[in-house]
Structure formats: structure tokens, C-alpha cells
Amino acid sequence: MYTFSGKLKTFSIALMILGALGMGYGFLTAPKTTEDIKEILHQEESHDVAQGDEHATTEVHASADSESHSAEAEQNHLEHVLHQLQNRPWAAYFVAAFFFLMIGVLVLVFYAIQWAAQAGWSIVLFRVMEGITAYILPGSILLFLFLLASGFHLNHIYVWMAEGTFDPTSENYDAIIDGKSWWLNTPSWLIRGFVYLFVYNIFRWLLRKNSIALDNSGDVKIYKKNFNLAVIFIVLYAILELFMSFDWLMSLDPHWYSQLYSFYVFASMMVSGITVIALVTIYLRKKGVLPFVNDKHIHDLGTYMFGFSIFWAYFWFDQFMLQWYANIPEDTAYFFPRLIGSYQLPFIGMLILNFVFPIFILMDKDSKKTPWFVIVTGLVILFGHYIDIFQLIYPATVGDNWSIGVPEIASLLFFLGVFIFTIFSSISKVPLHAKGNPFMKESEIYHG
């Protein structure tokens, strides 16, 4: 039985407090008016002149040259930059909220796959997976608060929600977005978001409840019930993930679309989820509360990390290659800021972190059995996929006015604190030995 240590609990609470303070600072210090933007631009222009860069070519600096713009155009651009800078703390919140929630959800998917496949090797890891999926409930609440804030126009994250977008008489009318209004409208968007989160939570609750009941009774009927629930959930998730990825992420760029997008998001978060399983398992094993977990279990988790890293890289290349070859203007608009523009570093850098690094480290059989190798690789992978979600969200919401500062770091700290506190609190509530599972003996003596 695991006991949630006081040090780890204090650490997680400290992360939440620091993160909350930092997020509050980010929201409070965000510019409020276009006059604030003028002052920011003036300071940046003065800095460029001091550095000898009098011919800055960025969008922000160009907007400051009122001599080359009409007063109306300049005002419109100032408002655009204002919205982007106001979006920054919201976008930072969204990146962290989505990343950690999807880790919980994809661990639940992986857990359900073990039930549906009647896998024997992974039973000793069930309590670890169940503990990680405990984050789905608080994570859903935190993310849905963001969705509500977006739906009630407290931010400018989703451009299709802007006033006049669907009104042909408005100067903000967008015919392309209006053609998608049957799907992209705020009421149905919020309802769908609630449905996604409800499905994740209800299946997590049912699978966990039956798993604990199976320990207490050993009734094979309960095992069969979880088998059926797992199959249903996998099918439902496969359907809902398509719409979820479109609603929450792809609609940030409503003029652009990719048929591979949802699979790309799935691959990114699946490798992240499996990585978290490996890290938590190694930690608990070192604490001596997972005596039946052997090197082969760690090796297999490392193999999954390696496999899904390759899987993610396939979709990264496939999505880019197909759209580059098609040379469609809408696709170019999506990839330009990422491949050539100001997001080139995170876009290319994450490929190294998420593919090149894991393939060199995890290809070797022995390295996947070495805990510290798996830990180091896992931390790099998680950082790389956090950057992946960052570059999916920031270009459409913050534009070129991005940086890594207080809002980004604070959001990461806050959600990491909630994540750690939730999963280890859950793990400490029940024995880590799923004794009622009929395949437990096979898992205990598993050596591949």
C-alpha cells in the first residue's frame, strides 16, 4: 500500500500555489487598451533602434509605422495585436489544461486496450494507470472552465466566435467560416465539449469501480463487464477524438483542415500517456510498493514509448508532406509561421526531442530495461510533446507576439501540481495489487 509522502504532497501544493500566483499575474498584467499596445510597441521600437535594428520587419514593429498606414488600418492592427497579447495567458492555460487532461484520457484508452485485449503482462500496472486517470475529473473541470470562458467571449482564442463572422452584413463576415456554421457555433460547440468530457469521466468511473469490485469478490462476471465496457469505450473514443481534435484545436485555424490531424494529436498524447505510466511505475517501484514489477515490464513500457514515437513521427511527416506536395494556399498559411516564421524553433525542435532523441536512446534493448535511461528519455519526450501542443495552439491565438515567460511557466507549474497531487492521492487509496484479476499470476511471472 502506497502512502502519499508529505514531501511530495507539499511539493505539489507549492507548485499549485506558485502556478496560480503566476497565472494571476499574467492575466493582471495583460494589456487592456490599444494605448497600452502603443506604449509596448514604442518601447520595442526604441529597443530595436538601440540595438541597431532600425529596419525591423516583424508584424508588430511594422504596425507602429503609422505613416505607411491609414489611421483606420493602424487602429485595426493595434486591436489585433491587443487581442493576441490578451490571449497569451489564456493560451498558456489552454496548453497546460489540454496537455495534462489528454495524458489522463490516453492512459485511460491504453488501460481500456489492456482490458479489451485481455492482456496479461500489464495487470501489475493497473493501479498505476487507474491512479493517473483520476486526473480526468479535475482536469475536465479546469478545461471546461476555459471552454466556457471562450464561449462567453472572455477571450479571443477562437476567431470564428468573433462578432459578425456569420453575418453577411458585417465587415467581419467570413464566407468560409459561415459555411461551417452548422458545426462551428458556440452552443453546439459547448454541448459537444461537455459530452466529450462526460464520456471520459463516466467510463473512467465505471472501469475503476468494477476493477476495485473485482478485487473484493473475484467474480468473473465483473471481469467480463469491464471487458465489454472497455470495448465500448475504445470505439466511442475513436469517434469522439475525431470531433474533439477538430473542435478544440483545428478550429483555432478554421480556414485550414487536415484529415490526419486527429490521428496526429492522438499519437502525440498516447506516447505522453505511456511515458507518464513508465515514470510513475519506476517511482513506485523504487519506493518498494510494486514488488511484482520487473525489468521486463519497464522494457515493454519503453518499447511502447519507442513505438509511438515512431508513430507520431510518421503522422508529423505524412501531414506535412501531403500538404506541401498539394501546395494549397490554405495549407501554406498554416505551415508558414511554423516552418519559416517565428515558430520555426519549436516546430523543428520538437521533431528532434520527440523522434530523433528517443530513436537513438530507446532503440537499444538494454536501455529500455534501465530505469534512469527511461526516466531521462521520458522527461525529454514529455517536454517535446508539451512543445508540440504549444505550437499547435499559439500561432493561431498569440501570433508572432509569443515568448516563454511567466504565463507559460506558471500554467505548467499549476497543472503539474494538480496532476501530481491528484494521481498520487488516488494511488494511495487502494492496494496496488489487483489481486482479483484472473490474469494477475501471469503478470507477476511475466518475463516476455
- Chain mean pLDDT for the chain: 90
Return the higher-pLDDT residue of 31 and 101: 101
pLDDT at 53 over 70: no
Model confidence at 248, pLDDT cuts 50, 70, 90, reads very high
Q: What CA–CA distance (Å, rounded) separates 395 from 302? A: 32
Q: Give the range with max mean pLDDT: 16-25, 43-52, 286-295.
A: 16-25
pLDDT at 46 over 60: yes
User: Could you tell me the sign of the dihedral formed by the alpha carbons of 291, 293, 296, 299, in that order?
Assistant: negative
Q: What percent of the chain has pLDDT over 90?
A: 69
Q: What CA–CA distance (Å, rounded) separates 325 from 336? A: 14
pLDDT at 214 over 90: yes
Range with the poorest average pLDDT among 55-64, 150-159, 220-229, 383-392: 55-64
Q: What CA–CA distance (Å, rounded) separates 15 from 36? A: 31
How do residues 342-395 score in pLDDT, each as one tens digit?
999 999 999 999 998 888 888 877 777 788 889 999 999 999 999 999 999 999
pLDDT at 424 over 70: yes
Torsion angle of alpha carbons 253, 156, 87, 344, nearest 10°? Answer: 10
Query: What is the three-class DSSP state of 171?
Result: coil
Q: Which long-range contacts (CB under 8 A, 24 or more apart) does 192-195 make?
A: 192/243, 192/244, 192/247, 193/144, 193/147, 193/247, 193/248, 194/144, 195/240
pLDDT at 242 over 50: yes
- Say which DSSP state 155 is in: S
**Minimal CA–CA distance to 26: which of 393, 410, 389?**
410
Model confidence at 49, pLDDT cuts 50, 70, 90, reads low
Model confidence at 230, pLDDT cuts 50, 70, 90, reads very high
pLDDT at 59 over 70: no
Cell of 72: 483606420
How do residues 114-155 score in pLDDT, each as one tens digit?
999 999 999 999 999 999 999 999 999 999 999 999 999 999
Parse the chain into domains and list their residue ranges.
Answer: 6-30+69-444
pTM over 0.85: yes
State residue 239's pLDDT score: 95
Cell of 9: 504532497
